[in-house]
A and B are shown apart, each in its own frame.
Chain A
Amino acid sequence: MNIFDIIGPVMVGPSSSHTAGAVKIGQIGRKLLGERVKKADIYLHGSFLATGKGHGTDKALVAGLLGMAVDDKRIPASFEIAGQEGLEFSFHSIVLQDAHPNSVKMLLWGESGKETEMVAASIGGGRIRVCEIDGLKANFYGDLPTLVVRNQDKPGHVVKVTSLLGEKGINIATMQLYRDIRGGHAVMVIELDQEIPEGFLDWLKEQEGIEKVTYLSQEEKDYV
């Protein structure tokens, strides 16, 4: 937190958690997909479901998926803009187990056919947390470059990834490991102090036992 969390952000109202936070969740979904979103199935939980309409949470999520910032004056018109830009979306209700009251699950499809599933929560003051990616637990705030690697739960993957990050001079801020069952799918969530260089993701994807690589860059891309 800094003083521009006290005076600021400049945002489209009415709620930092239900509107600005929702825009950020949409943006992160788009960045995780890494390309323009073609289709989004959006499931609202708890307070997002109960008061989301009055807070424009639905419009805010779609605005974020379109790449708008939290102060974009077009947020209230995001549904129409989605129509123009060929983003097809639908809203549903859901009860997520043990989830924060302001949670949403999104199934996203990109223009090249990429798919991502995520659960995220808006935790207050416009801050958000990604709680789940592709059905596996995650726990990050989306304000640092973040690498999410899904692999088979076998020895050697963590050292392979982290040593290459070290070689490239990239510092790891935080790192978490999760798996579903022993020998099943595992995921490492690595928050970084620097952006990863070009080519790194392609190299990683080709490694044996790596199932999926997702990267959240903090650099703005418009995927046009």
Chain B
Amino acid sequence: MYKSLEEICREAKRRNKEFWELILEDDCEERQVERESSFAAMLGMYQAMKEADASYEAERYSSSKLVGSDGAKLHEAVKNKQTICGDFLGTVMEKAVKMGESNACMKRIVAAPTAGACGVVPAVFLSMQEAYGYTDEKMVQALYVAAGIGGVIASRAFIAGAQGGCQAEIGSASSMAAGGAVFLRGGGEEAIVHAAAMAMKNLLGLACDPVAGLVEVPCVKRNVVGAVNALSSADMALAGIRSKIPPDEVIDAMRSVGLELPSCIRETGMGGLAATPTGIRIREEISGRTEK
């Protein structure tokens, strides 16, 4: 996998190839597979995202009962034209919550890059396909863009909340989705990596503080912020706005911030929201239930 977004941009220019194509070729090299086979595997990921979105169950709650049915509430709000954010962003939010809830309810999802952040990329991608009518082929190309960005983040920093806090999960997912969204709207390599950088910058320092240690509160709703932030970052980049700090340096900053985060806010369920009186009460109720 590439270790630098700058290097991807340089290679794209030098070899006159698109961002997604470089990532595809790199995958073929790394796993020793044909282009068709790599592309088919990525299409499989996109189809699995679609299936997960379509198979949301409004009545289903997680085993802790902490999350469930919120996607259906957003669906109603969007349908009745009640959202301040409008139809498009309303749909993005709805899909993000639905996927996060499906994950918490032990349904089948696509980790992107993690299970906790699985709602961000599909919320952005599926909503954009519905709104703009892109082909599946184009969507798969965008997934390569997202994967390329995520690969650089995983190489330079981390994508696990236990290592770098939520910025490493929702932050990375948001960065990946932002780059993919720019590609879909016809932005070039530079705009792609700057959208990724801006999305990451906006979420630097985000704590991983799940109540009772479960991938539920606040994880499900954080998928919304990741998705919406990806789109606003993409729009900024498409408008010509650039990150003053170069994209690779932003990722390095995410790593250094992650290393400085105390362990209580790195997926231990000991700090932040998990350590509030209500968070502690919920944890005790759940462990009481488990003992019985």
Q: Which residue of B lies closest to A10 (CB)?
A: B48
Q: What's the minimum C-beta distance from B159 to chain A, rounded to whole angstroms?
A: 7
Within the complex, which residue of A19, A54, A76 is in contact with B64, where a contact is CB–CB below 8 Å? Answer: A54
Residues of B within 8 A of A76 (CB): 106
CB of B106 within 8 A of CB of A125, answer: no
Q: Say whether A126 faces chain B, with CB atoms less than 8 Å apart.
A: yes
1/0 per residue, CB under 8 A from B, across A112-125: the answer is: 00000000000011
Q: Say whether A159 faces chain B, with CB atoms less than 8 Å apart.
A: no
Q: What's the minimum C-beta distance from B178 to chain A, rounded to whole angstroms?
A: 15
CB of A9 within 8 A of CB of B111, answer: yes
Residues of B within 8 A of A90 (CB): none
Residues of A within 8 A of B109 (CB): 10-13
Q: Which residue of B lies closest to A73 (CB)?
A: B108
* A10 touching B110 in the complex, CB below 8 Å, given contacts A1-B154, A2-B30, A3-B151: yes
CB of B290 within 8 A of CB of A53, answer: yes
CB of B213 within 8 A of CB of A54, answer: yes
Within the complex, which residue of B23, B102, B269, B290 is in contact with A3, where a contact is CB–CB below 8 Å? Answer: B23
Interface size on B, residues (CB 8 A): 53
CB of B162 within 8 A of CB of A124, answer: yes
Question: Which segment of B141-149, B225-233, B241-249 sits at the interface?
Answer: B141-149
CB of B106 within 8 A of CB of A19, answer: yes
1/0 per residue, CB under 8 A from A, across B24-58: the answer is: 00110011000000000110110010000000000
Q: Say whether B105 faces chain A, with CB atoms less than 8 Å apart.
A: yes
Q: Say whether B97 faces chain A, with CB atoms less than 8 Å apart.
A: no
Residues of B within 8 A of A20 (CB): 111, 115
Which B residues from 204 to 220 make CB contacts under 8 A with A? 212-216
Residues of B within 8 A of A59 (CB): 106
Per the bound structure, the CA–CA distance linking A223 and B48 in Å amounts to 29
Residue pairs across A and B with CB atoms within 8 Å: the count is 133
Residues of A within 8 A of B181 (CB): none
CB of B107 within 8 A of CB of A54, answer: no
Within the complex, which residue of B23, B30, B212 is in contact with A51, where a contact is CB–CB below 8 Å? Answer: B212
Residues of A within 8 A of B143 (CB): 7
CB of B63 within 8 A of CB of A54, answer: yes
Per the bound structure, the CA–CA distance linking A11 and B48 in Å amounts to 10
Q: What's the minimum C-beta distance from B98 to chain A, rounded to whole angstroms?
A: 12
Q: What's the minimum C-beta distance from B135 to chain A, rounded to whole angstroms?
A: 18
Q: Say whether B150 faces chain A, with CB atoms less than 8 Å apart.
A: yes
* A6 touching B147 in the complex, CB below 8 Å, given contacts A1-B154, A14-B115: yes
Within the complex, which residue of A8, A14, A124 is in contact with B106, where a contact is CB–CB below 8 Å? Answer: A14
CB of B112 within 8 A of CB of A11, answer: no
Q: What's the minimum C-beta distance from A101 to chain B, rounded to whole angstroms?
A: 9
Within the complex, which residue of B45, B162, B214 is in contact with A54, where a contact is CB–CB below 8 Å? Answer: B214
Q: Say whether A16 faces chain B, with CB atoms less than 8 Å apart.
A: yes
**B residues within 8 Å of A by Cβ?**
1, 23, 26-27, 30-31, 41-42, 44-45, 48, 62-64, 102-116, 118, 121, 143-144, 146-148, 150-151, 154, 159-160, 162-163, 176, 212-216, 269, 286-287, 290
- 8 closest pairs, A vs B, by CB? A13-B103, A51-B213, A6-B150, A3-B147, A14-B215, A54-B214, A76-B106, A10-B48
Question: What are some 28 contacts across the A-B interface (CB < 8 A)?
Answer: A2-B1, A2-B30, A4-B27, A4-B147, A6-B1, A6-B146, A6-B150, A6-B159, A7-B147, A8-B110, A10-B108, A10-B109, A11-B109, A11-B110, A14-B103, A14-B115, A14-B216, A15-B215, A47-B213, A51-B213, A51-B269, A53-B286, A54-B64, A54-B286, A59-B106, A76-B106, A125-B111, A125-B159
**A residues within 8 Å of B by Cβ?**
1-17, 19-20, 47, 50-51, 53-56, 59, 71, 73, 75-76, 124-126
